[in-house]
A and B are shown apart, each in its own frame.
Chain A
Amino acid sequence: MSARTTAVHRDGRHDARGFDVERIRADFPILQLQVNANPLAYLDNAASAQMPQAVIDRFVRYRTREHANIHRGVHYLSEVATREYEAVRAKVCAFLNVHDEREIVYTSGTTDSINLVMHGYGRKFIGRGDEIILSVLEHHSNIVPWQMLAEEKGAHIRVIPCNDAGELLVDAYEQLFTPRTKIVGLTHVSNALGTINPVKEMIAIAHRQGVPVLVDGAQAVPHLPVDVKDLDCDFYAFSGHKLCGPTGVGILYGKARHLEAMQPFKGGGDMILSVSFEKTTYNDIPYKFEAGTPPIEQVIGLGAAIDYLSAIGIGEIQAHEDELLRYATDRLGALNGVRIVGTAAHKASVLSFVVDGVHPHDIGTLLNEDGVAIRTGHHCAQPVMQRFGVPATARASFAFYNTLREVDVLTEAIVRAQKVFAV
């Protein structure tokens, strides 16, 4: 533990940069919960983040004053709902540095976004013998859709390896390209290890070969500033609920020329210009991908979550979370019998670990006894587990509302679990 983190910790309220974590915590009613007679220490943010009162209030306002179906009615409520719903595209554009709202597609989540690219782009442009490059760090949601496509089309998947720290091997990646490579799927931040991948550099490599890149940003957008224009990615996917917003909503950013070239994935209302039994004309982007009544209040809730996070500042959030990660890495790293899995130089606030002699599931159950919520298991990233030779890990993942004190509680709970197991 460094002297600096000790000093910060003793202060308890402000960290070194004056980030007032207690004021932020007051925005989140759920953080006041007691679990098993202990204050909740919610350290499972990579699975889903908690929702601030501002977003909850936005739901209430929508449901009490604004709800109707969108893009349909000429009446007052439909106009209000449509306006509020569409206004979120501009918020997402500002959040990702996108200049064309047509490039923002509402989906039900990251998985849905990736599946949309697979069906809309992959099924149209990838054929027998073609190749898809994915990294070993991908979440199952960026593996399985491409396997389904590969099986359907007779295409092949090539995998970018990583080193023992959990960093992708960029040189090996460069060697994977062939004239048959048609797309690259790449996670921005590993959900299991926290590695921040050098996506900008990797996108540039793909583009030199004329290959588009889909970035899974589910674990990145809550933790670091994302500028898709700077990255120059072709597609970028993320979910609302990891961003302090609701479940059931996500975003697919896609370059307009790709979206225009893509075939719709779901057919139905709202995605058409005209329908007859002889011929249907699809709507323009992004609407041609948004069939059916969308998750209107979830989209509006996502907009409120983006407003909330933007007001704090993603840079501020990142700095506080870096502090938490450094402190947690120091404290857990100092424990006998604890091994941190994923030690990349550039990491988001995810700490995966294993404890000698105690299975991650037992760790999770015993930590829950102390009010500490972590994730245990393979984190929907079994190739990562195989790469590191573990069946599962315990994973603490931090958000900007977590405190250094909660890192202490986590550390003490691990020590207690070791005592129970006498290891």
Chain B
Amino acid sequence: MSSTSQLYQEVILDHNRKPRNYGKLADANHHAEGLNPLCGDHIWVYVRTHAGTIDAIGFEGQSCAICKASASMMTAAVKGKKLADVETLVGEFRDMTTGKLDTASGTHHLGRLTVFSGVRDLPVRVKCAVLPWHTLHCALNSIAMVSTEGTADPVPDSGVERTDHA
């Protein structure tokens, strides 16, 4: 099976059709806007944190299936998780999509998110998959203003604009 067919499998198509946690979160205490200027993916991620944990999360925007499904599955994966664990997952997701993490052999916490591993063979689509995660990372880091974007971001020109909501 080609990497393209692998990528467009049922779980991703299902999340594209019926995205989970879709919509603006009225009482979010962090949010960020993500944009892939090249292809036009444009999303907003809203997060409500409490006691170091993601209490609630939502997203909205216009994007391709890879981006939308990635955002949908991300929101499901990080809800209820401690912020430190979320950052670990963000890093692992980036490493998987850029080919730095081999999900078959390496240890990781990605679970069902490994359906996105095929994107590593489609370089121009990596940004689509990573955009929601990068946007979440930016939203969360606006709290502490400690950003490791420069080194942590595999796609530094993806054009995410951080907007603080403190």
Interface residues of A (CB under 8 A from B): 36, 358-362, 365-366, 368-369, 376-378, 385, 391-392, 420-422
Quick check: A377 and B4 within 8 Å, CB to CB? no
Q: Which of A358, A366, A378, A391 counts the most chain B CB atoms within 10 A?
A: A391
| Residues of A with C-beta under 8 A to B66 | 361-362
Known A366-B4, A392-B40: A361·B13 in contact at CB below 8 Å:
no
Contact (Cβ within 8 A) B62 A365: no
Query: What per-residue 1/0 map shows which CB atoms of B1-16 lie under 8 Å from chain A?
Result: 0101101100001001
B41, B62, B64, most chain A CB atoms within 10 A: B64
B62-A369 in contact (CB<8A): no
- Closest Cβ–Cβ distance, residue B34 to chain A (whole Å): 14
Q: Could you say which residues of chain A place their CB within 8 Å of the CB of B41?
A: 361
- The answer, among A359, A369, A385, A391, for a CB contact under 8 Å with B5, is A369
Complex-state Cα separation, A385 to B66, whole angstroms: 21
A369 with B64: CB separation less than 8 A:
no
Cβ–Cβ contact B38 & A422, under 8 A: no
Q: Residues of B contacting A378 with CB < 8 Å?
A: 40
Complex CA gap A174/B99 in Å reads: 56
Quick check: is B122 within 8 A (CB to CB) of the other chain? yes
A391 to B68 CA separation, bound complex (whole angstroms): 14
Interchain residue pairs with CB less than 8 A apart (5): A361-B39, A362-B65, A365-B7, A378-B40, A421-B8
- Residue in B4, B17, B39 whose CB lies within 8 Å of A376: B39
Which residue on B lies nearest to A361, using beta carbons? B64
Q: How large is the interface on B (under 10, 10 to 19, 20 to 34, 35 or more residues)?
A: 20 to 34
| Cα A421 to Cα B16 with chains together (Å) | 9
Please, how many angstroms separate the alpha-carbon atoms of A135 and B49 in the complex? 47
Q: Which of A36, A365, A377 contacts B125 (CB 8 A)?
A: A365
Q: In the complex, given contacts A358-B65, A365-B122, what are 6 additional A-B residue pairs having Cβ atoms less than 8 angstroms apart?
A: A36-B2, A369-B4, A369-B5, A391-B62, A421-B16, A421-B65
**A-B pairs, 6 with minimum CB distance:** A359-B64, A361-B64, A391-B40, A392-B40, A369-B4, A362-B65
Q: Are A377 and B40 interface neighbours, CB within 8 A?
A: yes
Residues in B with CB closer than 8 Å to A36 are 2, 4
Q: By the criterion CB–CB under 8 Å, are A392 and B8 in contact? A: no
Total residue contacts A-B, CB cutoff 8 A? 47
B40 and A368 within 8 A (CB): no
Whether the pair B65, A377 counts as a contact (CB closer than 8 A) is no
Identity of the chain A residue whose Cβ is nearest the Cβ of B128 in the assembled complex: A361
Q: How far is the CA of A376 from the CA of B17 in the complex (A)?
A: 21
A361-B64, A365-B122, A366-B8 given as contacts; is B128 within 8 A of A421 (CB)? no
Q: Across the two chains, which residue of chain A brings its CB closest to B125? A: A365
Asked whether B39 lies within 8 Å of A420 as measured between CB atoms, the reply is no
User: Which residues from 35 to 54 on chain B have a C-beta closer than 8 Å to any C-beta of chain A?
Assistant: 38-42
CB–CB A421/B13 < 8 A: yes
- Report the minimum CB–CB distance from A317 to chain B (whole Å): 30
Shortest C-beta distance, B63 to chain A (Å), equals: 7
Q: Which residues of B are in contact with A by a Cβ distance under 8 Å?
A: 2, 4-5, 7-8, 13, 16-17, 38-42, 62-66, 122, 125, 128
| Across-interface contacts of B39 in A (CB, < 8 A) | 361, 376-377, 392
Which residues from chain A contact B2 at a C-beta distance below 8 Å? 36, 369
Q: Which of B13, B38, B65 contacts A359 (CB 8 A)?
A: B65
Chain B: minimal CB distance from A383 (Å): 13
For B10, the closest partner residue in chain A by CB is: A422
* In the complex, chain A residues whose CB is within 8 Å of the CB of B7: 365
Q: How far is the CB of A376 from chain B (nearest CB, A)?
A: 7
Q: Are A365 and B4 in contact (CB under 8 A)?
A: yes
Shortest CB-to-CB span from A273 to chain B, Å, is 43
Q: How far in angstroms is the closest Cβ of chain B from A10? A: 32
A180 to B38: give the CA distance in the assembly, Å.
35
Cα(A377)–Cα(B125), bound, Å: 12
Chain B residue with minimal CB distance to A359? B64
A420 and B13: CB pair below 8 A? yes
A369 to B38, CA, bound (A): 21
Given A362-B64, A369-B2, A391–B125 Cβ distance below 8 Å? Answer: no
Give B4 Cβ to nearest chain A Cβ, in Å: 5
Residues of chain B within 8 A (CB-CB) of A369 are: 2, 4-5
| Distance, CA A385 to CA B16, complexed state (A) | 23
In the complex the two chains form, is B62's CB within 8 Å of A362's CB? no
Contact indicator B64/A377 (Cβ below 8 Å): no
Q: Which residue of B lies closest to A369 (CB)?
A: B4
- Closest residue of A by beta carbon distance from B122: A365
Nearest-CB residue, chain B, relative to A391: B40
* Pairwise interchain contact B38-A377, C-beta atoms closer than 8 A: yes
Q: Residue of B at shortest CB range from A357?
A: B17
Q: B40 contacts which chain A residues (CB < 8 A)?
A: 361, 377-378, 385, 391-392
Q: How close is A133's CB to chain B, nearest CB, in angstroms?
A: 26
Residue numbers in A under 8 Å from B64 (CB-CB): 359-362
Chain A residue with Cβ nearest B13: A421
CB A39 to nearest CB in B, in angstroms, measures 16
Chain B residue numbers with a CB within 8 Å of A376 are 39
In the complex, chain B residues whose CB is within 8 Å of the CB of A421: 8, 13, 16, 65
Alpha-carbon gap, A365 to B7, bound state (A): 10
Q: How far is the CA of A199 from the CA of B5 in the complex (A)?
A: 45
B26 to A: closest C-beta gap in Å: 25
Contact A359 B122 (CB under 8 A): no
